[in-house]
Copies of this chain bind each other. A is one copy, B any other.
Amino acid sequence: MGVAERKEREKEVLREQILTAAKTLFLEKGVEKTSIRNIADLIEYSPGSIYHYFKDKNEIFHALHQGGFQQLMGKMEVLITIPNPMSRLKAMGSIYVEFALENPDMYDLMFIKEAPMEHVSNSNDEQWKEGYGTFNFLRATIKECILEGYFQGHDQEALSFMVWSTVHGMVSLHIRRRCEVVLAQRQGTIVKDGLNEFFSILDRPSS
């Protein structure tokens, strides 16, 4: 009686197809400008059938959202091989920025867009599980830095938040197209340059 299992697998395949098509279109023309009909056209199904696999458009976002956190965590795994906490902190920043610039729409979904389920705050804990994971790793790295004397007398929690904010600020200004105010000839590299400036500042000795 493996029929139910096969059906389940087939259903999962179509679910995956929808997700892949949605991701393709989101990255291509943006989330807002991608319609359910566009997705349906791409997988050659009717618009209505998508609603048998996802409650609504938001649920498609949410599924991709979680996938994004796993992707980011995957990119961060190499960091455990870096023993020096300061080097690890910098590498973490580089990976974060790299992820954001390579997957701007996904980053938008994860960190910039209005979180759609905020009023239904019950499931928040589950949703942010991965988010907690990455921030905890940052916090632990900062703690090691402080212990090794890199940021003497600094506040672990506030410093962690500030470091995260700096990289988030740079990539989100870039993604939301607020970089036109910087010199035209610098716009192409301003995020990378800004990150290096940040590293330089972090490298300066505690007075």
Query: How distant is the Cα of A154 from the Cα of B162 in the complex, in angstroms?
Result: 20
Query: How distant is the Cα of A131 from the Cα of B197 in the complex, in angstroms?
Result: 22
- Copy count, this protein chain: 2
Q: Does A55 contact B (CB under 8 A)?
A: no
Complex contacts, A182 vs chain B, CB 8 Å: 135, 157, 160-161
Question: Are B114 and A154 in contact (CB-based, < 8 A)?
Answer: no
Question: Are B32 and A114 in contact (CB-based, < 8 A)?
Answer: yes
Question: Are B132 and A181 in contact (CB-based, < 8 A)?
Answer: yes
Q: How far is the CB of A137 from chain B (nearest CB, A)?
A: 11
Q: Does A201 contact B (CB under 8 A)?
A: yes
Q: Does A204 contact B (CB under 8 A)?
A: yes
Chain A residues 78 to 114 lying within 8 A of chain B, measured CB to CB, are 111-114
Question: Are B164 and A166 in contact (CB-based, < 8 A)?
Answer: no
Majority SS at the chain A contact face: helix
Query: How distant is the Cα of A195 from the Cα of B180 in the complex, in angstroms?
Result: 25
Complex contacts, A164 vs chain B, CB 8 Å: 169, 173
Residues of A within 8 A of B (CB): 30, 32, 111-115, 118, 124, 128, 131-132, 135, 151, 154-155, 157-162, 164-170, 172-173, 176-183, 186, 190, 193-198, 200-207
Taking A131-B181, A162-B197, A164-B169 as given, write out 11 further A-B residue pairs in contact, using a Cβ cutoff of 8 Å, ordered by the A residue number. A111-B173, A111-B176, A115-B176, A128-B181, A159-B197, A161-B170, A161-B173, A161-B193, A164-B173, A204-B205, A204-B206
What are 5 contact pairs spanning A and B, CB under 8 A?
A: A111-B176, A115-B177, A135-B182, A157-B186, A157-B190
